[in-house]
Each structure stands twice: as structure tokens, then as C-alpha cells.
Amino acid sequence: MNNSPVSPPASRRDFLKASGVVIGASALSGVALPHVHAAGSDQISVALVGCGGRGGGAAANAMSQSGPPKLVAMADVFQHRLDGAFNSLKGKYKDQVDVPDNRKFIGFDAYQGAIDSLKKGDVAIFTTPLAFRWVHFKYAIEKGINVFMEKPITADGPTSRRMLELNKLAKAKNLKVGVGLMSRHKKCLQQLHARIHQDNEIGDVMLLRGYRMQGLLGSAFSEKYPGKDKGLPGNPSELMWQISRFHSFIWASGGGYSDFNIHHIDHLCWLKSPPGKELWPVKAQGVGGRTYRTSPDGKPYVDQNFDSYAVEYTFEDGAKLYMDGRCMTGAVPMYHSFVHGTKGMAVAANSGDCNGPSSTFKGQVRSRENQLWTSDTKMADDPYFTEWQVLTDAIRNDKPHNEVDRGVMASLATSLGRYAAHTGQEVLLEEMLNHEHEYAPGADKLTFDSPAPVQADANGFYPVPEPGKKTKREY
């Protein structure tokens, strides 16, 4: 990909060069324009667009805030998912769920009805597959609605550029936008960031490591599309089936690498970054492969994922970030992240995407004798709650809050590693940003009758990466 013929427009090139792939604090804070939520009212209403598990969780986090916020509209492409989320949320938050049948919307344009149910100052939650993120964000900006969107938010260069441009409009309107990269809101990681950069406890950061090694996860493993006659909920077309199995398809989720590993990549890049800056890798290379691609009963999996990934990222100062991901039953599990400096090392996430305690050590040996500090934040510290606390506070008190630019960059860095492993090439971040392959073109025009963005061959298999053979596209 280093010989890509695409020459980036000056604005995109300048975006990266202005800071050496650094986004300053001003790029994250938005533009301070006069705005008061709901004409002075503290009542925040919420619309949920995308009613899967993460959507229900985000809505619950929203309604757990002071006020409290109310859920007033819901949208999805699957009736059973909307009904399931509604029943669950109504059971837990009876007085805060006010979603009559006329504010339950089904279809690819359902997001419009849900957003139209809100007033300026309210919040739309976007938890659909990422292919639709820019579509929904664009409409929310037009309507002057604040947003919380799940990660990842892009899977390719064209949508990354589009989201960055859309966010200029969001900042000009002083909209508050949260992105579901909750690790940075974890108190133990915030404490660790201060230890690294304010106290210089481990010296200059030169190596970061992330591991998400586990068994089969989510919908990343899919057998052949069974067809409309198999009694699946909604009798889905192939498009609808792919949406229901979104982890299996790069266009819908960025694939398993992007969706599962983005939290580690985001918080490790942040821990590398001094206060007020955002440092991102300038290039990546990686390996991976498809080894065990059959179900327990011997049926072939047809998804686009590798079983394992090992990606090396390089920062402008030569520092490295290694991200290892694996989805294999029976292999040793590991779900941690580490930071190594010139004087010592740190445990960032001890278990999961951001769970503490975080710790620092003198030297590079993790031992009781070498321990310098461990976080005093309890495991009960919930960053999923805190990120909503920050968002609602920003709305009610008109504080700058816009996480989209760094959400795009985290998504782009994640896509960079995936692309490098899938093509077998060393890939520059700027090349990834300016690559012209859009994985779900026309996402704003999809209907129930539309063909799926990726098509199976005559045997029901989808195109998969072939490192060294397909070097300029992932598939």
C-alpha cells in the first residue's frame, strides 16, 4: 500500500502533518458557542437507534444518570430486537421509559423518526453496526441533536474522512458528542496517565503491549447464510442476516480485529500521549491467519475474519505498540495491557479492556519487590457510567465535549492494523486515511430489498483477505 496512487487533498494531509499525527486538545473540545439545554431545563430525553445488547446497555447507562434522563423513542431494523430491548428497559426503568408504539420505529430510515422525537439538547444513541454511523450522525447534526455513538465509528478511509468533515459541523453547532471508548474514563487509567506523564514514574514510553486472547466471541464466526426459509426472526434477506451477524463482516463492524481490540489500542495510544495531545502510530505491519474455520459439528465458517492477529505499530519517535488478538477455543486466554518506559513498566488493564488495578514498577520485571504504586480505585468504578456522567454534565452546563475526532483516529488506527495483517504490507496511517475503498457505499440508501455490500460466491463463501496476494485491498 506504500505505493498507493492516491494523493491526499491538502486538507487531509495537513490534518496529519500539522501535529505529526497528533490531535491537539482544541481538536477534541469543540467550539464554544452559546447554547442552553432545553431552554434551561435539566430534563434530557434519549432516543435509542440500534437495540442490540450494547444499545440496551448504553440506554441503561443514560437513564442511570441524575435528572434522570428518559427514553422516549427507539429504532431498529429488527422488530424482535426492539421489543426485547424495550421490555428489558421498561422492567428496570419503568418511570423513565416513555416509548409508546408511535415512537417505535422499524426500518433503515427508522433513525429519522427516533431523532425527530427529540428536541434540541437531547441525545440520540447510535449503537447500530458502524456502517451506518456517519448516516445517523449527519442527520443528528442537521437536527441539532447531541449524540452518543458506539465504537468503532469507521472501518475505512472514505468514512473516516467523512466523519471528520461532519464533526466540523457538529463542533460549529456546539453539539456534545460522546464516543463509547470508555477506557479513558476509568479512574485507575487516569491515575496511571498522571503517573506516566506528570510524575515521569516509568520514564519515556517506548513500548506498549495489548492482548485480547479468548475463545469464540460475538458473531465473528458464521456458517453459510441459511436463506429466508429457515425460520429466522424476521425471515431475513442476506443483507439482514449479515447485519445480524455483523462481527463476521468487515463492512458492518470492521471485523473482529477492529471491534474487539479497539479499546486496548485507544487507551494505549492515550497512555503514550502527553496531556493535551493525541499520539497515534504512523505505520503498522502485521500477521494473522485463518486456521480453525469450522463449527464444532464440522460446518465451514464463511466470515471474513482471521483467527489470530499480531500487529506491530510504530509511532513517530520509533516507539512500538504490539497488539495481539486471538479467537480460539482451548488456547491460553490473556486480556491485559502493559506500558514500558526507559525507567520502568506499568500494568494498564489488569483484566479486560480497562479493569484495574493499574500498577507501576521500577525496571521491567513485574514483581512485588519492584512495585512503586497501585491504583486505589475500586473495581466498582464503572467507566460506562462515567462517560455518560461527563456527557450529561457537558449538556446541562454547556461544557466543551466532543470525542469524535479521537474516536475516528482510534478507529483508523485499528483499521490500519487490520489492513496491514490482511494485506501482508507495511501500511502508513496517512495511506489508510486516504485509501479509496469504501466497504459499504450507499449505506444511506439501503432498504430491506437491497443487496448486501459483500456477496458470497456460488458455494456461499465470502471474500477473505489473502496476505501477499491481495496487497492493495483487504478483499
Long-range pairs, 88-97, Cβ under 8 A, ≥24: 88/56, 89/56, 89/59, 89/60, 89/63, 92/60, 93/60, 93/63, 96/63, 96/68, 96/69, 96/70, 96/71, 97/63, 97/70, 97/71
Range of the domain at 25: 10-184+385-408
- Cα angle 134-137-143, degrees, rounded to a multiple of 5: 145
Q: Is the pLDDT of residue 195 over 70?
A: yes
Is residue 438 in a domain? no
* Alpha carbons 95 and 63: distance in angstroms, whole number: 10
* 58 phi, psi to nearest 5 deg: -65, -40
Cis amide bond preceding 68, omega within 30: yes
**Average pLDDT of span 227-237:** 76
Contact 89, 5 (CB under 8 A): no
Report the number of distinct structural domains present in the chain: 2
Kindly state whether residue 84 falls inside one of the protein's structural domains. yes
With 50 as the cut, is the pLDDT of residue 149 above it? yes
Same structural domain for residues 94 and 145?
A: yes
CATH number at residue 325: 3.30.360.10
DSSP secondary structure letter of residue 247: G
Same domain flag for 170 and 202: no
Query: Residue 231 pLDDT > 80, yes or no?
Result: no
Q: How far apart are CA 7 and CA 318, in angstroms?
A: 25
Provide the grid cell at 144. 441539532
Residue 73 shares a structural domain with residue 164: yes
Contacts of 5 (CB under 8 A, 6+ apart): none
Tell me what pLDDT residue 42 has: 79
| Same domain, residue pair 115 and 162 | yes
Q: What's the CATH number where 143 sits?
A: 3.40.50.720
Same domain, 142 and 208: no
Q: Which tens digits make up the pLDDT trace of 384-395?
A: 999 999 999 999
Any residues with CB less than 8 A from the CB of 41 and at least 6 apart, and which? Answer: 121
In a domain, 238, yes or no: yes
Residue 450, in any domain of the structure: no
Does the residue 390 lie in any domain? yes
- CB 278, CB 368: distance < 8 Å: no
Residue 18's Cα: distance from chain center in Å?
25
d(CA 217, CA 303): 13
Mean pLDDT calculated for residue range 173-202: 97
Q: Is 156 in the same domain as 286?
A: no
Report helix, strand and coil shares of the chain as percent, to nearest 5.
Answer: 35, 20, 45
Statement to judge: residues 82 and 137 lie in one domain: yes
Residue 414 has pLDDT above 70, yes or no: yes
Query: 272-283 pLDDT, tens per residue?
Result: 999 999 999 999
Asked whether residue 114 is assigned to any structural domain, the reply reads: yes
What pLDDT does 36 receive? 42
Q: Which residue in the block uniquely carries the three cell numbers 491485559? A: 336
pLDDT of residue 2: 44
Listing from the earlier edge strand, what are the strands of the sheet with 344-347? 371-374, 359-362, 344-347, 334-341, 205-214, 320-327, 308-314, 283-289, 427-428
Cβ-count burial 54-84 (b if 16+ within 10 Å, e if not): bbbebbbbbbbbeeebbbbbbbbbbeebbeb
* 5 pLDDT more than 60: no
Q: Is 327 a member of any domain?
A: yes
Is the model more confident about 2 or about 142?
142
Cα Dmax for the chain = 64
Residue type present at position 116: D
Share above pLDDT 70 across residues of the chain, in percent, rounded to a whole number: 90
* Nearest of 213, 151, 145, 217 to residue 182 by alpha carbon: 151
Mean pLDDT of 75-95: 97
User: Are 170 and 200 in the same domain?
Assistant: no
The pLDDT assigned to 227 comes to 87
Distance (Å, whole) CA 127 – CA 457? 30
User: CB atoms < 10 A from the CB of 472, how many?
Assistant: 12
Same-domain status, 47 and 154: yes
- Main-chain dihedrals φ then ψ at residue 164, nearest 5 degrees: -65, -40
pLDDT at 379: 57
Residues 35, 106, single domain; the answer is: yes
For residue 33, pLDDT over 70 is answered with no
What was the pLDDT predicted at 296?
Answer: 85
pLDDT tens-place string over residues 44-58:
999 999 999 999 999
Residue 408 has pLDDT above 90, yes or no: yes
With 90 as the cut, is the pLDDT of residue 311 above it?
yes
pLDDT, tens digit (0-9, with 9 covering 90-100), for 325-341: 999 989 999 999 999 99
SS3 call for 417: helix
Do 303 and 334 reside in the same domain of the chain? yes
The position carrying cell 465473528 is 220
Residues 245 and 307 in one domain: yes
What whole-number distance in Å separates Cα of residue 59 and Cα of residue 458?
Answer: 41
Predicted confidence at residue 312, as pLDDT, reads 98
pLDDT 10s digits, 332-374: 999 999 999 999 999 999 999 999 899 999 999 999 999 999 9
- Contact criterion met (CB below 8 Å) for 305 and 256: yes
Mean pLDDT of the chain: 91
Q: How many other CB atoms are found less than 10 A from the CB of residue 436?
A: 12
For residue 34, pLDDT over 70 is answered with: no
pLDDT at 409: 98
Residue 449, in any domain of the structure: no
